Structure formats: C-alpha cells, structure tokens
Structure 1
Amino acid sequence: MNYTFPGLIDVMAKASPPRSGDELAGCAADSDGERAAAQWVLADIPLTAFLNDVLIPYEDDEVTRLIIDSHDATAFEPLSHLTVGEFRDWLLDTAAREDGGAELAALAPGLTPEMVAAVSKLMRNQDLIAVSRAITHTSAFRTTIGLPGRLSTRLQPNHPTDDPRGVAAAVLDGLLLGCGDAVIGVNPASDSPRHVAELLYLLDEIRQRYRIPTQSCVLTHVTTTIELIGEGVPVDLVFQSIAGTEAANRAFGVSLELLAEAHDAGRALRRGTVGNNVMYFETGQGTELSADSHLGVDGKPVDQQTLEARTYAVARAFEPLLVNTVVGFIGPEYLYDAKQITRAGLEDHFCGALLGLPMGVDVCYTNHAVADQDDMDVLVTLLAAAGCAFVITVPGADDVMLGYQSLSFHDALYVRRLLGLRPAPEFERWLRELALADERGRVLPTALDSSPLRELVSTL
C-alpha cells in the first residue's frame, strides 16, 4: 500500500494518535497503516521546515506571527541540523542524563509549538513522561509553582448560584485537606461584574484572615477583570481561556493586544510576595474546532493537538503563573474515551514543558465520555510521575456547577503520598504552622476544633 501526503499540514494530521476530534474535522488517518506511514515521513522532516512551511499563514494569523517573530535562533542552533526523528532520540538521551534537565529547559525559546507537537507524535507515553519529568520551569506569586518534588493544587470551590456560604464551605474543605497552593479559583455562575467582585472580596477576606500564602482568582472574562482592577477590587490573578489561532481567540473575545493590556494591569498591582507572575490561562484540545477556527493553509484542517501546542506559545508570551489544559472537559466529540484523554493529557503536559511553562492539567471528563474515575486515577498518577506542576481539585471530584468530573481533594493526598510529593513550600509552611501537616508536608487527621480555621464555620 502506497500513501501520499501533499504537504506538512497533512503529514502532521495523519501522524497523530487517534482522536475523535480529528475524525470530526476530517483530517485523521484512515487506518493504522496510513498513520504509521505518516509517522515515518514525519520522522525524516528537518526541524527547520517548521520555520519555513507554516501551517497557518503568517499574514492571516497573529499567533503564527508571534511564533515566528519571537523564535530564538541562538537557542535553536544546537538542534538546527536535526530531523524530527533525530530530535526525539536527542530528547530521550538528554533526559536520561543526570544534568540533562537544565539543557532541556534552556531549549524553550528556540522551539516552536509545531516542532514539539511533531516530535510528540513519534513518542510513546513513557517517552512523554520521561522527558517531561526531566524539565523544570517555575513561576511565583505568593507561592512558587513547578519546583521539583512538588505537586500543587487548584482548589475549585464552584457553586451553582455563587452562594458565598457554599463557596466558603468548599474552600474550608479543601484547605483542611491541604489543597489550594496553586490558586483558590472560582468559576462564577454569573459573569456580572457585581457577582465577580463579591466573590473576589470573599476569597480575599478568607486569605487575609487566615494569612494563607496563596492566590485567588475568579475565572471571568479578561475585560471584566480589567474593569474590576480599575475599580480597586482585590484581583490577584488575571484569567482567560485562550486558543492556538487568531480566529479562535477572537471567538473568546480576546487578542494578543488585549492580553498584553490585562497582563500590564495585573502586574501593576504588585500584589505578589515571592513573584509577580499574574496570568492564569486555560486551554484544551478541540477548542479551535469547536469554534470553527481550525483551518490552515489552503483551507485544510490542522490537527487539534498541534493547535493546542500553538496555544502554549500565546501563554508563554505573558509569563503566566498557571497554565492548565482542561483535558477531558470539552467532551467526547474531541477526546472520545479514557485512552484518548490519557494520551492527550500526557501530550499537553510534555509540549507545555518543552515550551517553557510550569504546566498543569485538569484531570477530568464529562459524563457522556467513555471514561470513569478509575481512568482519572491512572492519569493523575502518570502526570504526577511526569512532573506535572499542578492539578485541579473539587469537592468529591464532582463539580456541581460545571457538571463534569475532576479530581477530589483526597485524590491529591493520594498521589502526593504515593510519590513523595509536597505542596508549594510557602503553603507547606503554613499548613505546618496550623498543625495541618507534618514535617514531611503530609496532611494530618487534625480535628476541626483544634484548627484556627474553625472560625470559618461561623461565617457559613
């Protein structure tokens, strides 16, 4: 059987591991044989091809212009003679060396998203884990994210009506179980500036009352956050969902210029204590296709994993504190089952790490996907072994506002205990001061009555 691939965009799509989103877009390989053939072709393509043969035209897309214009030729020079297949071998060799992590981390400015997406398509799951594990990138605000031997958590206390008592109860639950060192972040049920401001004041009051070394965020649209900053509302992190094409970002109501404005506004507040990384971005495979903004050269669809990697170029331009892929949230139309969700989570973490981000993952699925909580146990264990910077945790693993399944606070305790991981150092010290954790950072079965947090109950 002979296979023909008219261009780079076709090779990249056909070489991708199976996923329902690429089938929906009409760009997936028709058979395992075609996929293997595309991977053979991809392995022989020089890395320099991705600088000359862009998948989305430079003149039509500001994300492409950002990628090309910000590329660091000096950082890329040591790899400039390699093909994609040789790059895979180099990554594995370097990751296996005792001192290889620093060399891998230094590559980030010289790599384009398309390069890292391409090499990921040639890698087994264990390859993705091994290379990711060797890379360290950190960020900081009131806690330091991404340090080796640490696994941070976002405490997600969502409530269907934004009831302050419900939000506060979920915050208390998470704090008592050692969660919240990445951020206490609420998805508001209402995007009204008044409701968002009320939630920000509530989270800031809790943080200040108990001197919690963490940061808060209400995940509203960036324009609302800019407005609230101007009104003096206590904003720590500036949130926005982003994508890998200009058109998809336009569907979110954002542009690079607007994100730059938000970044400057957040940093000008200087509310951080150990750093001033103020941006929080969420991404997810399938975003561009769901917005009908996934087409590249000659109107051909770009595969969803490559588009996701392009999103990380947008994120790194603004030196974020947090970036996470909501890996199974967009639904089975894009990632059909647990096998596809697991593969996508490992790919996203790998690509984000190679591109210079302290990458997090929302280990999650929707109720109509072919997945269950056992599958999430497997994925969070693999991601923690791969050095994932943070995961999202919700009460009982069931987000009753967004209607999807994620990780519970107990799941974070499990994986930390299993792999000897600890919270961010600033947050860990606070847990020990309140007798909620021992000297190894492990949460203790402390009775509520013995903790100063008991006062929070009176506010419910």
Structure 2
Amino acid sequence: MRLRSTMFGEVYDFGSIKEVLAKANEPKSGDQQAGIAARSAAERVAAREVLAEIPLSALRENPAVPYEIDEVTRVIDDAVNETVYSEIKGWKVGDFREWILANSTTGDMIKRASTALTGEMVAGVTKLMSNMDLIVGAKKIEIVKHCVNTIGRRGTIASRLQPNHPTDSVEGIRAATYEGLSFGSGDSVIGINPSDDSVSSVSRLLEMTKEVIDTWEIPTQNCVLAHITTQMECLKRGAPVGLMFQSLAGSQKANEGFGISVGLLDEASALAKKHCWPAGPNYLYFETGQGTALSADAHYDADQLTMEARIYGLAKRYDPYQVNTVVGFIGPEYLYDSVQITRAGLEDHFMGKLTGLSMGCDVCYTNHAKATQNEIENLMVLFAAAGGSFIMGIPMGDDSMLSYQTTSFHDIASIRQAMDLRPLPEFEAWLEGIGLWKDGQLTAAAGDASFFLRR
C-alpha cells in the first residue's frame, strides 16, 4: 500500500497507517506532547492525501492496538456487521467522506453503514472533515434512546442538571436542583459528581434526587457519577439508581487505570437492566474525552482522536441512554485553546453519532486553558446546530466542586430560544403542566428556585 505523498517538491513517507492517522489530525497539543503530530501544515496535508486513498478495509486490518492484546479492539471488531462490511470495505476513506456528505445519503443509510465501522474507520473519515462538514454529517443522523424520557429527537436539546457541591450537602444540592429545574434544565438527567465516593454518601444523594423526582412527578432520571462499582453496590442495597455511569477510555490498559474492564461493564449493564428503577430500555451513561489514553500512557502511539473514536465503539456494546464528551476538562495539555476545544467537540459529536450513540457535550474548559466563556458559547451554538442531544446545566456555569467552567442553567434556556429547540417531549409536557413553560418558551415564573418551595 502506498503511504507516500509529494508536496511542493518534498516527499513525505509514512511508516504505518497509525502514523498517517496521527499526522492527518488537526493540531492538538496532546499529539504534539506525544511527539506524533505533523511537523508542518504541508506534512498534515500530505498525510490527508494518503489517508483519503486508503480503503476502509485497511483501517480495520490495522487497529491502533492489536486485537490479540486489547479487549477494546476485540469488542469493536467482533461487533462488525459482516454483511454490511462486505459492501463498504473497498471504499476509500475519501469516498466515504463524500458519501456521508452527499445530499442523496440519508441518516438511515449512514446508520446502516455504522454497523460495519471500527473506531479507526470513524477516526479516518473525521480527519478529512472540516468543522462545517462535521456539523452537516452529524445533523443527518438521529439517534433516539429512552430511559424515563426520550432523548435525541430532532428539534430537541436536553440539559444535564449538574448540582455539584464541594461537601455533598444534601440541602445545597437540593437548592441547586430546584434552580436548574426552574430554568428547564434536568431533562437529560439530574446527575451529581460526588466529592465522597462511599456507598453511604452516594446512596443518600440517590435517595434525595429520587425524592425530588417523585414529589414533583418529574419525567427524568437520576445519577450519581461515582465509580461504577460503588453504584453497583448501591443498587444491590436497594438505592434508586436511574442511570448507571462510568468514564471510558479507548484501550484496555487505559480502562484498567479507571478500574474497569469489559467484564465489569457487562456485569454492570446486566445489573442495571434488572434493578434500575426507570422503564428503560437504555440505562447506561458514559463520559469520554480526547487525551484520556495519552494521560494514562496507554495510547500505543496513536493520536488522541483515534483513541477517542475507539471509546465510542466500546460504548455502543451497551446501548447507552447517553454519552458525552467532556471536551475541555482534561486541560490544555491535550487541547490547548478554544480553537482546539471547539474542533474536538465537533469531532467527538460526529464520531459518536456516526457510531450510533446519543451524544452530548460538556462544553467546558479549565481555568488554565486559553479559552473564554464567549468562545465556549460559540461551541455550544455549533453543537446545537449539529443536532447535539444535551449540554450541561450548572449554576452560573462555574462548578464549585470540580472547579471548571461550563454551561449554565441560563444557557440551555438561551440556546433553545435562539435555535428554536425544545426540551425532551415528556419533560416539556411536565414544564407546561406546572406553569414553567407555555407556547414553546419559559414563562415569567421560570428562573426562580423558590417556585418549588411555595407549593
């Protein structure tokens, strides 16, 4: 196979498909840190020229981590629909890009093709897309899932109500929950990042959020984002778990750093289907982020976009209710500034939907990143235009427990108004029923947490 290109009289030879994928990537500080990024814009274009001519079959045959040593690779490869694969394996990556973007190609056609894709195929086509291409391609694909309510329908965008508290104060979390609900946040999930990962503390937060849901008859689900083994123990002891959560990475070695394995995830998924309180059938919630494997020195010299694409192939095994990329949370060591964060957010959303997942985005940045709130709001608008499923909702967009900047309760109200989008259908009906929503927008009663204390 030819892995060579000539640009402006200079010959660029690439030693492997893995190197082509890495050097075809948009500039990322993580790839630069790992020493695998293109050394110049010309080398990047040369790598893309080579990548565009590689058949999809070659990407399957050359995974970033060998099949024999990595269970993530095995999960993804073993799940390939061989009938569909036989139809597309001869397509070049450039042809695949053109097919996705063609007016004649529908979302249903893309979803059928997705059953035959590996993470490396998904990563390859993503590297040939502009930001606009990523929006156009993702917009075509509708991925609908159901737990208590229905996420992913066209014309909707949901919000995870994230009422974190530095000491896990039940009353502090309850107050933040009421504020978020008053702005129409919480239809994706009421999801808390705990500061205390113990079974007793996590159970206490699950019980409180379920009480709020039951008292107000809210069509949503709860989740406490502790380690999955803690949530499993809570569930075994009778705590009311709505969604079961876990962060994922794109290699077995990196997942071992998280204290998880495919076997453990299989066990958790079976337990959730049996004991989680919602109707389902989708009970899992995963979070991802470019740079995860690199930060654990478990990337096998693959670029961070390719390792991210592999996460989505693993996540698909569990048919989750939702997945979100915590795009700027890992820090500027991996995504240096708002340009890289924006690009990664659009890449992750496209790759997740192309894989078959209901994708959200924590439109965020850490305080030492070269980014501003205005720049992050730009990503939120682009994400909504691409048909994203959900964003975060945090008081004033400033997380008091995790100490990072993200989207606020106000932002979900604003993006719905600006883009003519609605809450999830069951949640919208509930908002109307209690007087917080009318004729497609929030009422004058919205935005006041005391609304839930006066009735």
TM-score per shorter chain, which class? over 0.9
Conservation of the 8 A alpha-carbon contact between 2:60 and 2:121: no
Alignment of 1:337 onto 2:337: yes
Give SS of 2:437's match. Answer: coil
Distance in structure 2 (CA, Å) of the matches to 1:270 and 1:375: 38
Please name the residue that 1:79 is paired with: 88
Q: TM-score, normalised by structure 1?
A: 0.95
Q: CA deviation at 1:80?
A: 2.3
Give SS of 2:274's match. Answer: helix
Distance in structure 2 (CA, Å) of the matches to 1:284 and 1:54: 20
Q: CA deviation at 1:419?
A: 1.1
The one-character-per-residue Cα deviations of 1:143-163 (angstroms, maximum 9, x if unpaired) are 101011000110000000001
Please name the residue that 1:298 is paired with: none
The one-character-per-residue Cα deviations of 1:99-131 (angstroms, maximum 9, x if unpaired) are 712111222211111111101111110000001
Give the alignment partner of residue 111 of structure 1, picking from 94, 114, 117: 117
Please name the residue that 1:294 is paired with: 299
- Equivalences for residues 250-329 of structure 1 within 5 A: 250-269=256-275, 271-273=277-279, 275-295=280-300, 301-329=301-329
Distance in structure 2 (CA, Å) of the matches to 1:144 and 1:395: 25
Conservation of the 8 A alpha-carbon contact between 1:434 and 1:452: no
Distance in structure 1 (CA, Å) of the matches to 2:154 and 2:61: 36
Give the alignment partner of residue 210 of structure 1, picking from 216, 224, 231: 216
Conservation of the 8 A alpha-carbon contact between 1:238 and 1:266: yes
Conservation of the 8 A alpha-carbon contact between 1:187 and 1:218: yes
Give SS of 1:3's match. Answer: strand
The one-character-per-residue Cα deviations of 1:258-287 (angstroms, maximum 9, x if unpaired) are 0010011111025223x3211110110000
Please name the residue that 1:21 is paired with: 30
Please name the residue that 2:442 is paired with: 443
The one-character-per-residue Cα deviations of 1:387-413 (angstroms, maximum 9, x if unpaired) are 001111100000010000000111111
Alignment of 1:410 onto 2:415: no
Distance in structure 1 (CA, Å) of the matches to 2:96 and 2:395: 42
Distance 1:408 1:449, change over 3 A: closer
Q: Which runs of 5+ in 2 are unaligned?
A: 1-9
Q: How many aligned residue pairs are there?
A: 446
Give SS of 2:438's match. Answer: coil
Percentage of identical aligned residues:
49
Q: CA deviation at 1:199?
A: 0.6
Distance in structure 1 (CA, Å) of the matches to 2:89 and 2:66: 22
- Equivalences for residues 24-103 of structure 1 within 5 A: 24-93=33-102, 96-97=103-104, 100-103=106-109
Distance in structure 2 (CA, Å) of the matches to 1:447 and 1:232: 34
Q: Partner amino acid for 1:417?
A: Q
Give the alignment partner of residue 232 of structure 1, picking from 227, 230, 238: 238
The one-character-per-residue Cα deviations of 1:237-269 (angstroms, maximum 9, x if unpaired) are 111011000000000000000001001111102
Distance in structure 2 (CA, Å) of the matches to 1:128 and 1:429: 32
Give the alignment partner of residue 170 of structure 2, picking from 164, 172, 177: 164
Distance 1:319 1:2, change over 3 A: same
Q: TM-score, normalised by structure 2?
A: 0.96
Conservation of the 8 A alpha-carbon contact between 1:63 and 1:246: yes
Distance in structure 1 (CA, Å) of the matches to 2:429 and 2:13: 59
Conservation of the 8 A alpha-carbon contact between 2:202 and 2:224: yes
Q: CA deviation at 1:81?
A: 2.4
Q: CA deviation at 1:439?
A: 3.0
Give SS of 1:157's match. Answer: coil
Distance in structure 2 (CA, Å) of the matches to 1:193 and 1:450: 29
Please name the residue that 1:453 is paired with: 452
Distance 1:450 1:126, change over 3 A: closer
Distance in structure 2 (CA, Å) of the matches to 1:325 and 1:450: 29
Give SS of 1:2's match. Answer: strand
Conservation of the 8 A alpha-carbon contact between 2:182 and 2:449: no
Q: CA deviation at 1:86?
A: 0.7
Distance in structure 1 (CA, Å) of the matches to 2:276 and 2:69: 36
Q: CA deviation at 1:67?
A: 1.2
Distance in structure 2 (CA, Å) of the matches to 1:447 and 1:423: 14
The one-character-per-residue Cα deviations of 1:293-320 (angstroms, maximum 9, x if unpaired) are 111xxxxx00000000100011110010
Distance 1:110 1:311, change over 3 A: same
Distance in structure 2 (CA, Å) of the matches to 1:141 and 1:166: 27
Q: Partner amino acid for 1:110?
A: A
- Equivalences for residues 175-190 of structure 1 within 5 A: 175-190=181-196
Q: Partner amino acid for 2:136?
A: A
Please name the residue that 2:7 is paired with: none
Please name the residue that 2:5 is paired with: none
The one-character-per-residue Cα deviations of 1:368-399 (angstroms, maximum 9, x if unpaired) are 00001001110000000000011111000000
> CA RMSD for the aligned pairs?
1.4
Please name the residue that 1:365 is paired with: 365
Q: Partner amino acid for 1:403?
A: S
Give SS of 1:336's match. Answer: coil
Distance in structure 2 (CA, Å) of the matches to 1:76 and 1:417: 42
Give SS of 2:26's match. Answer: coil
Please name the residue that 1:243 is paired with: 249
Alignment of 1:140 onto 2:139: no
Distance in structure 2 (CA, Å) of the matches to 1:450 and 1:387: 29
Conservation of the 8 A alpha-carbon contact between 2:182 and 2:448: no
Q: Which runs of 5+ in 1 are unaligned?
A: 296-300
Q: CA deviation at 1:15?
A: 0.4
Distance 1:232 1:385, change over 3 A: same
Please name the residue that 2:198 is paired with: 192
Name whichever of 70-79 and 286-295 sits farther off: 70-79
Q: CA deviation at 1:328?
A: 0.1
Give SS of 1:29's match. Answer: coil
Q: Partner amino acid for 2:94?
A: G
Distance 1:450 1:111, change over 3 A: closer
Conservation of the 8 A alpha-carbon contact between 1:270 and 1:276: no
Q: CA deviation at 1:455?
A: 4.6
Give SS of 2:12's match. Answer: coil
